[in-house]
Amino acid sequence: MAPYSSVISPQGCSSSSSSSCAGNKPSEIDGLLAGAGYKVRSQDLRQVAQRLERLETVMVNAPDEFSQLATEAVHYNPSDIASWVDSMLSEFHNQPEFSDPTNYINPVVVPPLQADTWSNENVQHCQLLHPQQQQQLTVVATIEEDSGIRLVHLLMGCAESVQRGDASFAGSLIEEMQSLLTRVNTVSGIGKVAGYFIDALSRRLFSPQNACAGSSVENEILYHHFYEACPYLKFAHFTANQAILEAFDGHDCVHVIDFNLMHGLQWPALIQALALRPGGPPFLRLTGIGPPSPDGRDSLREIGLKLAELAWSVNVRFAFRGVAASRLDDVKPWMLQVNPREAVAVNSIMQLHRLLGSDPTRGSPIDTVLSWIKSLNPKIVTVVEQESNHNQPLFVDRFTEALFYYSTMFDSLEACTLQPEKSVAEMYIQKEICNVVCCEGLSRVERHEPLVKWTERLNGAGFSSLHLGSNAFKQASMLLTLFSAEGYCVEEKDGCLTLGWHSRPLISASAWQTSALPDVGCLPLATIENTIL
């Protein structure tokens, strides 16, 4: 039964009938509760009701302990009422009055996701259309009336011409748009975003080979300003660090593998959190992967040294190793020198999508990388990705999706007042737009895919979801209150967190673990190269 069925005629259900009136088979999810956002199997309804009742009894009889549920307990997967109630019940230590001890559920850390088909059903149908962005365009259109709408229509038309191969018509549309731009406000809103897309289309038509250039130094500068101007990267780091911290609990030797070190902005916070860990910090190894420096500097090592200084100042034993690689699928697991005794965290902030392009010489880079990640037997893999589908086969679809996605992102950037961070952050975003619109083949690296596709891919590669709980959610929400702009919102979905602007998710953070042990023979036995200060 679809969650949104419109009202037809009364089905004459008596008030004491059990389960929904939808005629579900018992092993199916209750359709009406699904429409309310909850997953409960029809056959489990009675049991869940019993547990709710038990929780309420506990509430009444131990109100002080119950109040701790709010402050100390970590909540997971609120959609799954059964496991949520169980985890609440397990917070209570003594249960003498319950006569049926077999019903007392031990804490289940991660309830396995119900059939993926259910989570697909729950996902919005709008793979092609994202109304949240349309809302941006719609609101702006009411200010600029025809011009804004006309620009969007011209952009779509131009994208279609490009896809058809009609370069001359596309060119004439670009001219028309450029002249329309002179009559529209380009400081903000639709005019600004349209400007970037017109520019990107024009590059695609007239100078594709120059479109995607950019040195690694340039990239680092753009990245840093994007980091400062808006909360997306900070959210990514916060959320990943929280999950890594929890995964490292109880381990004395830990090893973080960062797929894109950049300036190592993510790691000071983790180092400090580990320093403050009750029971003392572990021995922390950090392996930072990054592109080779063209000028012979060892920029990876420089960052490593800075982080080592910080770690030394807070008494965290620390070792750093840099791995220079221009592509992740060039990295071989032996380069990472993982020690079987250590707990490994693999951290990928917007890197996996770069592996989705393939050509005959490269096979499938994403499969290569996912399989060597698995072979490291990591305790946790943190994945942050843009929440959009910019990897669709048809150019027009990618273009449309990108138009809406980046409109929302630019809109959120309006809230930033820091300069030059804001302007340089716009250049960072512009580079992404250019790559999505102008490039093809291996040089198109911005192949963003939404969380639902990553979930499929990671599940298929032998990873299962590690739910991010209410602690991570709370951290992320608190982070947002530091930004004066209202409009950012964090949401939980199937154990993952998304950060978005006005209810349109723009970036997703998720955590994964291997679902089965690999062959022991794959683990390299290595000695640790010491860079300890």
25-54 residues near other proteins, rule: CB under 8 A: 30, 32-33, 35-38, 40, 45-46, 48-49, 52-53
Whole-number Å distance between alpha carbons of 482 and 46: 44
Quote the least distance from Cβ 137 to other proteins, whole Å: 6
Question: Coil, helix or strand for 347?
Answer: strand
List the x/- string, 132-171, binding to other proteins by CB under 8 A: x-xx-xxx-xx------x--x-------------------
Cβ proximity to other proteins, 428 vs 488, nearer residue: 488
Q: Which of residues 491-510 bind other proteins (CB under 8 A)?
A: 491-492, 502-505
Indicate the residue among 6 and 182 with the shorter CB distance to other proteins: 6
Q: How far is the CB of 195 from other proteins (least distance, A)?
A: 18
Taking the complex as a whole, the smallest distance from the CB of residue 331 to other proteins amounts, in Å, to 36
Q: Which stretch binds other proteins (CB under 8 A): 5-13, 285-293, 300-308, 448-456?
A: 5-13
Q: Binder to other proteins among 94, 124, 182, 361 (CB under 8 A)?
A: 124
In eight-state DSSP terms, residue 419 is: T
Task: Print the binding letters for residues 282-321 with other proteins: x by CB under 8 A, - otherwise.
Answer: ----------------------------------------
Helix/strand/coil percent split, the chain, to 5: 50, 10, 40
- In the stretch 467-486, what mask flags binding to other proteins with x, by CB under 8 A? ---x--xx--xx-------x
Cis peptide before 420 (omega within 30 of 0): yes
Decide whether 61 or 207 has the Cβ nearer to other proteins.
61
How many Å is the Cα radius of gyration of the chain? 25
Hey, which residues between 177 and 236 contact other proteins (CB under 8 A)? none
Q: Which residue number, 61 or 178, has a Cβ lying nearer to other proteins?
A: 61
Dihedral angle sign, alpha carbons of residues 76, 78, 83, 88: positive
Choose between 108 and 310: whose C-beta lies nearer to other proteins.
Answer: 108
**Cis peptide before 450, with omega less than 30 degrees from 0?**
no
Nearer to other proteins, 81 or 174 (CB): 81
The CB-of-485 to other proteins minimum distance in angstroms stands at 9
Which residue, 471, 508, 512, 466, is CA-closest to 491?
508
**What's the burial of 399, exposed, middle or buried (CB within 10 Å: 0-12/13-18/19+)?**
buried
CA distance 125 to 280: 48
User: Do 436 and 243 touch, CB atoms closer than 8 A?
Assistant: no
CA nearest to 355, candidates 437, 240, 427, 454: 454
Residues 6+ apart with CB under 8 A from 11: 21
- x/- mask, other proteins, residues 417-456, rule CB under 8 A, reads ----------------------------------------
Closest CB 42 distance from other proteins, rounded Å: 8
Residue 23 found at the interface with other proteins (CB under 8 A):
no
- In whole angstroms, the minimum distance from the beta carbon of 127 to other proteins comes to 9
Contact 231, 488 (CB under 8 A): yes
Residue 505: strand pairing partners: 500
407 touching other proteins, by CB under 8 A: no
Q: Which is nearer to other proteins, 91 or 367 (CB)?
A: 91
Mapping DSSP to helix (H, G, I), strand (E, B) and coil, where does residue 181 land? helix
- Among the listed ranges 63-71, 215-223, 277-285, 445-453, the one in contact with other proteins (CB under 8 A) is 63-71
Which CB sits closer to other proteins, 69 or 273? 69
* DSSP state, residue 439: -
Q: Which of residues 333-352 bind other proteins (CB under 8 A)?
A: none
Q: How far apart are CA 432 and CA 435, in angstroms?
A: 5
Q: How far apart are CA 360 and CA 50, in angstroms?
A: 58
Hey, how many other C-beta atoms are within 10 angstroms of the C-beta on 427?
16
56 binds other proteins, rule: CB under 8 A = yes
Other Cβ atoms less than 10 A from the Cβ of 291: the count is 17
Q: How far is the CB of 449 from other proteins (least distance, A)?
A: 17
